[in-house]
């Protein structure tokens, strides 16, 4: 299947990957034949790209139905999780966290990021979607970093709860479209403290999970918040979640800005290595996640355009590309593949 910008999707295209609402419901299921009504509604919801089936790219698989189902359950559980935290109901919280832990366990089992990272997001209820996506990313990154299963569970739960303190911030500030005042921004920067305070009231939550929530906005150069901690003062799991939080945040639409393109978000993380982000964690990030999503159309430095069909581990900017048409005339040509690992004189110039 191929990844297509919404404006390039046509009637009768077949949806290749299910789209979830912010409440965890399936908005459109993979296999649905798209029409103008569906396409216009998706555009209004803020969906800018989606996967569609393409027989020329039939070997490009991006839908993992089991993970989609687990993600759906986890999103649905988030409201109960937050309520249980506020009520300090440890028993119910442990029950509510079961869906999160089941998803983490499945990620540990499959370890294949290409089936989960690039998902479709909508505007509404951003915090739930963002929290679950950060949980997924952090779990995959933790696997790559070599954490054991106990630590991976703490990392995943901490990532899912990292923004719990925002429930103490007025929605008028969280959803403000205009520039925040200095006072409003100071309040926003307190959400890690609020989150830590909430979790400390729940004896079932480990200290490491609390540290992740409290420190996920700290930076290794000491320029983060809320405490301005520097590298050795920040727990490693918080450094890991920090990277995933930033990457997913800038990859999503917000009320005050548009999302970054995948390569822009990726470069933001790499450029922050050693300053904003821990170098070792950025190295794991680079070896785990690729810059260009499977199925997306890219233009190479020789002018050829094609679709990413395979990632090369450890070389996030050098995927294998299948060329299907003449990039100048847009005429179909016999397909051929260009593996950028083998063709070192070529690079990806842009996403088309």
pLDDT tens digit sequence for 120-161: 443 344 567 889 989 999 999 999 999 999 999 999 999 999
d(Cα 27, Cα 350) in Å, to the nearest integer? Answer: 30
d(Cα 53, Cα 59) in Å, to the nearest integer? Answer: 10
d(Cα 103, Cα 97) in Å, to the nearest integer? Answer: 10
- When pLDDT is cut at 50, 70 and 90, the band that residue 303 belongs to is confident
- When pLDDT is cut at 50, 70 and 90, the band that residue 322 belongs to is very high
Is residue 94 a contact partner of residue 204, using CB atoms and an 8 Å limit?
yes
**Residue that the structure tokens 């998706």 belong to:** 42
Is residue 56 a contact partner of residue 324, using CB atoms and an 8 Å limit?
yes
Count how many Cα atoms sit within 13 Å of the Cα of residue 45 in the half-sphere of its side chain.
22
Q: What percent of the chain has pLDDT over 70?
A: 89
- Which has more pLDDT, 104 or 115? 104
d(Cα 342, Cα 222) in Å, to the nearest integer? Answer: 41
Range list of H helices, 201-349: 207-215, 236-250, 262-271, 279-288
Taking the domains of the chain in order of start, what are their residue ranges? 2-57, 65-288, 297-351
Rg (C-alpha) for the chain, rounded Å, is 21
- pLDDT averaged over the chain? 87
Count how many Cα atoms sit within 13 Å of the Cα of residue 228 in the half-sphere of its side chain.
1
From residue 140, alpha-carbon distances to 96, 245, 324 in Å are 22, 13, 32
SS3 at position 235:
coil
d(Cα 321, Cα 155) in Å, to the nearest integer? Answer: 34
Closest CA to 9 of 55, 31, 42: 42
The average pLDDT across 291-305 equals 87
Residue 173: count of CB within 10 angstroms of its CB: 15
Beta bridge mates, 305? 299
pLDDT at 126: 57
Instruction: Report pLDDT digits (tens) over 283-295.
Output: 999 888 888 888 8
Closest CA to 93 of 101, 84, 82, 102: 84
Longest CA pairwise span in the chain (Å): 65
Reply yes or no on whether the pLDDT at 243 is more than 90: yes
- Which has more pLDDT, 163 or 335? 163
Is residue 50 a contact partner of residue 10, using CB atoms and an 8 Å limit?
no
H or E, element range at 262 = helix 262-271
Beta bridge mates, 322? 307, 337
Strands (E), 18-75: 19-20, 26-28, 49-52
SS3 at position 326:
coil
Residue 164 CA, chain-centre distance (Å), reads 18
Does the domain at 2-57 match CATH 3.90.105.10? Answer given as: yes
Q: What are phi and psi of 152, to 5 degrees?
A: -65, -35
Q: What is the pTM of this model?
A: 0.84
d(Cα 227, Cα 136) in Å, to the nearest integer? Answer: 27
CATH code of the region 65-288? 1.10.3210.10
Measured between its terminal Cα atoms, the distance across the chain in Å is 16
């Amino acid at each position: 299947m191929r990844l297509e910008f919404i404006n390039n999707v046509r009637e009768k295209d077949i949806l290749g990957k299910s789209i979830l609402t912010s409440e965890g419901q399936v908005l459109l299921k993979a296999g649905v034949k798209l029409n103008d009504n569906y396409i216009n509604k998706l555009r209004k919801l803020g969906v800018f790209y989606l996967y569609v089936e393409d027989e020329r790219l039939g070997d490009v698989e991006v839908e993992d139905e089991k993970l989609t189902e687990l993600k759906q359950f986890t999103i649905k559980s988030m409201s109960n999780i937050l309520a249980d935290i506020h009520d300090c109901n440890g028993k119910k919280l442990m029950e509510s966290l079961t869906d999160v832990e089941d998803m983490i366990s499945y990620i540990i089992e499959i370890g294949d990021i290409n089936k989960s990272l690039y998902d479709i997001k909508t505007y509404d209820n951003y915090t739930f979607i963002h929290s679950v996506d950060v949980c997924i990313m952090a779990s995959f990154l933790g696997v790559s970093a070599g954490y054991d299963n106990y630590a991976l569970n703490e990392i995943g739960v901490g990532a899912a709860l990292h923004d719990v303190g925002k429930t103490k911030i007025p929605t008028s500030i969280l959803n403000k479209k205009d520039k925040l005042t200095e006072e409003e921004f100071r309040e926003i920067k307190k959400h890690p403290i609020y989150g830590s305070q909430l979790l400390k009231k729940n004896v079932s939550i480990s200290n490491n999970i609390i540290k992740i929530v409290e420190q996920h906005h700290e930076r290794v150069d000491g320029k983060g918040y809320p405490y301005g901690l520097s590298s050795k003062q920040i727990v490693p799991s918080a450094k890991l979640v920090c990277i995933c939080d930033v990457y997913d945040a800038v990859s999503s639409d917000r009320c005050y800005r548009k999302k970054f393109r995948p390569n822009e978000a990726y470069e933001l993380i790499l450029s922050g290595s050693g300053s904003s982000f821990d170098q070792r964690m950025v190295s794991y990030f680079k070896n785990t996640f690729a810059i260009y999503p499977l199925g997306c159309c890219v233009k190479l430095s020789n002018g050829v355009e094609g679709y990413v069909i395979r990632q090369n581990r450890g070389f996030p900017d050098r995927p294998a590309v299948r060329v299907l048409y003449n990039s100048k005339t847009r005429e179909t040509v016999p397909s051929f593949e260009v593996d950028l690992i083998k063709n070192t004189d070529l690079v990806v110039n842009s996403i088309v």
